[in-house]
Chains A and B, each alone.
Chain A
Amino acid sequence: MKQKRILAAATALTLLGSLLTSCSSSTATTTTAGSSTAATTAEATTTAAAETTTAEAAGTTTAAETTTAEASDSATGTGDAALKIVIVTSPSGVDDGSFNEDNYNGILSFIKNNPASTVKDIKEPDSANAVTAVANVLADYDVIVTPGYQFAGIYQLAVDNPDKDFILVDSNPSDTDGNEQSADNIYAMTFAEQESGFYAGVAAALETKSGKVAVVNGVAYPSNVNYQYGFESGVNYAVKHLNATAEVVELQQYAGTDVTGADVGGNYIGDFSDPATGKIVGEALLAEGCDILFVAAGNSGNGVFTAVKENGAAKVIGCDVDQYDDGVNGSSNIVLTSVLKVMSTNVEKQLQAIADGTFTGGNVVLNATTDSTGYVSDPSRSQLSDTTKTALEDVYTKVKDGTIVPAANFNGYTPEDFPGLN
């Protein structure tokens, strides 16, 4: 008897354990709308908002009219569009202090201006399951924000649900055969990484004391190769035009092979989530005498940061978002600056467009012309010298007006020969 009871208890505990697990890994609800009254208002007005976006029904109540009327207001930042937004992310979640969080912040600032809107964040631990996760919750929301290339497959979903709007970050949608597509209700934003890499290269070349700099990447996907080529372009530019003395160090055992099978050089860790190997690569580069490393390697980059922290004298340049907080090393900081993909303002801009009814889908490469690439120059979040800052400002304007076009994986230029260098 006793044994049976114990067995039952064990089963119950195991069940409880697995339940707990699934709970914590799936969702953490965040209602940012403030009070519960705001949430109810949201419920009440959604239907009206939905109707305004589709064909105007003749008999819509005044609620619908107010929404349209308010639309002009919202452009100035005081709208009350009631969008139900959901953000589906990788398991690191919307508070990862990095990529996902930047997107989430864009949503939050939209909600600040449109308090009737709500957001819910969902974590999908299995990237192969990302699209299914979106499909499961699709019915409950108006706008779906999906940061990351694992969501490229939402194309079919978007076509099947023309009344929903999708914001896809850092990837273009693709159909089930993997062919790139575009849809009217998907705004897919990718970034000109080579521009960000270029700022990093210029900054590194100007700040190095040993005359040796390097770039560390994760896997030679186009986005990473863009960063690498951009960085090399930046160093070459600074050497030729800004009197810098610097050379780019590449270790051939870490050379990358891009998606077409070509050897692109550089230093590739081979993985985005292997900090242990990242540290080995970082140490190898420091042993070669590099004193500034540009790190664009996702989670693997953490290992490079550790290597640099232990080294004490070297510095890193962060990537995608402001990584200054990751660089704390006792009383000092190893982050020289971070080069950015400005996702938050672009997400906010598109949400506002949806609220205003001016949303149009498409696959867009964002660059300096819309201030979507950039670098951190705030003295409390970076350690650039004044001369470097002045030089970077000059370079930034030149990239913006097209005088300089840094080399990218597939834009036909090389780091040794691109517009603006010769």
Chain B
Amino acid sequence: MNTMIIDGLSYALPLLIIACGGIFSERSGVTNLALEGFLGFGAFTGSLFVALTSSWFSNGSTVPMYLAFLFAMLGGGFYALLFALLCIKFRANQVIAGVVINILSVALTGFLTSQINSSVFGEASNKFQLGVSPRWTVPGLSQIPVLGAVFTKFYPFEILIVILVIFINYLLYKTRFGMHLRAAGDNPQAVDTAGISVAKVRFTAVVIAGMLAGLGGMCYAYSISTNFSPSIYFGAGYLAIAAMIFGNWKLMPTLAACLIFGLARSGAYQLVGYLKLSSNYTNLALAIPYVLTLLLLIFFSKTNRAPRALGEIYDKSKR
């Protein structure tokens, strides 16, 4: 049970922050399939920073890790500029632009990693080695049965994500910016009439999406592989999109979706072990959360509503 919660959270929270990026982008009216590319490029920038500067810090220092998160956000945001440029400035089809951005990211980061490794560090490798993230346990709280697992062996980035999500909730629903953003996705004409540039709002939203996805990618680089390699592209971006749609483009339901995906994933292995079934059933158990999602969608999809202007290129002259 404890393992399930500990593993589940460390998988679900980065997924949530990537999905949050998706929410930003899509609530502002830009269909975002490029999350996978953003997260990879963000992780690449953060890891590059660690690789370049690790010699400045004492061995085992965690400072590079925290800075890596910062640089991952910058890198993800920077890369998202390209997507924003294509979708908003050049009015490219958003679905196609998203796919292009993903493919470009896989190729570009793989190529750059090999090149930088050989030219700067003089070694032939397609990976940047990162240190290991520490894991924290809160002394008293971790003793509480069941719930204590939340406070046991968590990664520092999990706290960061929780804080960010609370802030995002405030930003989206309680500020003027959040209102403009949501309006740009539902009724861009109204936003324009109010004298606010739709393009600017959408541009900002996409860049924020890139930053959040980049952060999520860096978290996975630390929690799963402790290195940056092309294996960072394992589909988390697409799973985040699924979680966002299942969560009806709203923050709290998306959180629930991410938790279901994360907990069920680690729970499936435990379940098969607990029931002493053969490993043949593991794959079946792994499918349970998705089957559940499908069933739930059948019943709740009536109330699901995408932002009205999602995927539409805003054109002033069109009525």
A contact residues vs B (CB 8 Å cutoff):
3, 6-7, 9-10, 13-14, 17-18, 20-21, 24-25, 28, 91-97, 101, 251-257, 263, 268, 270, 273-276, 279-280, 283-284, 287, 299, 302-303, 305-306, 309-310, 325-326, 328-331
Most buried by B among A6, A253, A305: A253
Asked whether A97 lies within 8 Å of B90 as measured between CB atoms, the reply is no
Which of B24-32, B119-127, B175-183, B204-212 lies at the interface? B119-127
Q: How far is the CA of A274 from the CA of B227 in the complex (A)?
A: 14
What A residues does B223 contact at CB under 8 A? 279, 306
Q: List 18 A-B contacts (CB under 8 A).
A: A9-B90, A14-B97, A14-B100, A17-B101, A20-B104, A21-B104, A24-B111, A92-B230, A94-B124, A95-B124, A252-B278, A253-B272, A276-B11, A276-B224, A287-B3, A299-B231, A305-B226, A330-B60
Contact of B156 with A by CB under 8 A: no
Tell me whether chain A's interface is mostly helix, strand or loop, or mixed: helix
Quote the shortest CB–CB distance from A317 to chain B (angstroms): 18
Contact of B131 with A by CB under 8 A: yes
Task: Return the chain B residue nearest A281 by Cβ.
Answer: B269
B contact residues vs A (CB 8 Å cutoff):
3, 7, 11, 59-60, 86, 89-92, 96-97, 100-101, 103-104, 106-108, 110-111, 114, 117-118, 123-127, 129, 131-133, 135, 223-227, 229-231, 234, 266, 269, 272-273, 276-280, 282-283
Asked whether B135 lies within 8 Å of A28 as measured between CB atoms, the reply is no
What A residues does B280 contact at CB under 8 A? 257
Asked whether A280 lies within 8 Å of B7 as measured between CB atoms, the reply is yes
What B residues does A93 contact at CB under 8 A? 114, 126
Q: How far is the CA of A14 from the CA of B200 in the complex (A)?
A: 22
Asked whether B107 lies within 8 Å of A20 as measured between CB atoms, the reply is yes
What B residues does A91 contact at CB under 8 A? 110, 230
- Beyond the given A93-B114, A255-B279, A287-B3, please list 14 additional residue pairs across the A-B interface where CB-CB is below 8 A: A20-B107, A21-B107, A24-B108, A25-B110, A252-B273, A253-B277, A276-B11, A276-B234, A280-B7, A302-B226, A306-B132, A306-B223, A310-B133, A325-B125
Q: How far is the CA of A148 from the CA of B25 in the complex (A)?
A: 41
Task: Return the chain A residue nearest B124 by Cβ.
Answer: A95
Q: How far is the CA of A383 from the CA of B133 in the complex (A)?
A: 24
Asked whether B107 lies within 8 Å of A270 as measured between CB atoms, the reply is no
What B residues does A252 contact at CB under 8 A? 273, 276, 278-279
Quote the shortest CB–CB distance from B316 to chain A (angstroms): 12
